[in-house]
Structure 1
Amino acid sequence: MSQALTVRQAETLITALRTGQNLDEAVTTLRLDLAAVWSTARTHTRLAVALAGRDPDTDIERARAARGDFLRLLALGLPAARAELAVGGNIGTWRGDDPAYSRACVAASEAAASYASRDQGRMTPQVTRRFLDRLRTPGTTVRTAAAAAGVTNTAIYQRRRRDPGFADAMKAAQAEARGAANA
């Protein structure tokens, strides 16, 4: 495998591409190895977007990159809940907005199903304890506490609906956080 570009080389190449240079011209001018460019693009999202001829610093490209990252994580066997935490996006909205993307998510998950761990993203006693401990911290939201515990807020709300004891524990933790904030 070819040596990857340095961060500085990648950023300089992105700037050249954004200002209209074609790839061959930029690689020659910057004295870069083309194999290193492609090797770097495998893990450098901004470079990959620039190589595709688009500006990697626009909101639409950042959103497109996050969707791509989510699909990659699903294909690697990460459960959707953990992949959503990793990319920091609202995947349910993305999937609802784009049926083709939703199908791609299902396909990536199914492709990884044979080697994905079944225990990831579950509300184990340890996860529940981490969530409730974090929720007791003043100013902490359910989303933040869920992320700290390694699950999505959707998983928390589903558990709260199914489990009255957990719902009571959540209320108690939130009351404790409010009490500590007012002390």
Structure 2
Amino acid sequence: MKLHPADVWHTAATSPRLAVALAGRDPDDLGEQGRMERAHYLYLIALGLPAARAEQAIGSMNAGKWRGQDPNFALACKVVAKASQAYAQPKRPRITPDAIERFLTELRKGGMVKDACALAGVTPAAMYQRRKRDGDFARVWNQAARDGAAAEKQ
């Protein structure tokens, strides 16, 4: 098998391990692995992923820690995020009125919170956060749960 230098460089553009090796460093070194994770995180931010999604994609929730420990990385995150704003996912409401109604309807039927959230297309964490912030929503939720418990008894 014959390797062409152009193919090697092209592959290095998509393979952090190869790029590190071509730079004369050991890609299995822990420091280099951390550097590759940081680079991959910045790459995903540059493509417009929100920070939390980029962390999920790389399988590491360390970006906040990295920013706190390394001012240069923190600055790079700010610059890359600002430069990629035009490509970022559009902000949408986390919990729409329709989702709330589907959630409450399921609770009124006696459904569990987890199942009601799944049917509404929202996470339980998002609903509990909304409940904590919004007293009116908490009261409606409690009433729907009471209605559901009464319906289950009948």
Q: Structure 2-normalised TM-score?
A: 0.62
Change (3 A) 1:133 1:103: same
Deviations 1:9-48 (Å, cap 9, x if unpaired)? xxxxxxxxxxxxxxxxxxxxx7310000000001111101
2:49 is matched with which residue? 78
| Whole-Å separation in 2 of the counterparts to 1:54 and 1:67 | 16
Residue 45, structure 1, aligned to residue 9, structure 2: no
1:64 is matched with which residue? 35
State the structure with more CA Rg.
2
Unaligned runs of 5+ residues in structure 1 are: 1-29, 135-148, 170-183
| Whole-Å separation in 2 of the counterparts to 1:99 and 1:107 | 12
1:114 is matched with which residue? 86
Q: How many residues matched?
A: 117
| Whole-Å separation in 2 of the counterparts to 1:119 and 1:78 | 12
Deviation (angstroms), 1:157: 9.1
| Whole-Å separation in 1 of the counterparts to 2:52 and 2:85 | 15
Deviations 1:81-115 (Å, cap 9, x if unpaired)? 11111112221100000111001001111001012
Q: Secondary structure at the match of 1:53?
A: coil
Deviation (angstroms), 1:65: 0.5
1:97 is matched with which residue? 69
Q: Secondary structure at the match of 2:14?
A: coil
Deviation (angstroms), 1:59: 1.5
- Cα root mean square deviation, aligned: 3.2
Change (3 A) 1:156 1:99: farther
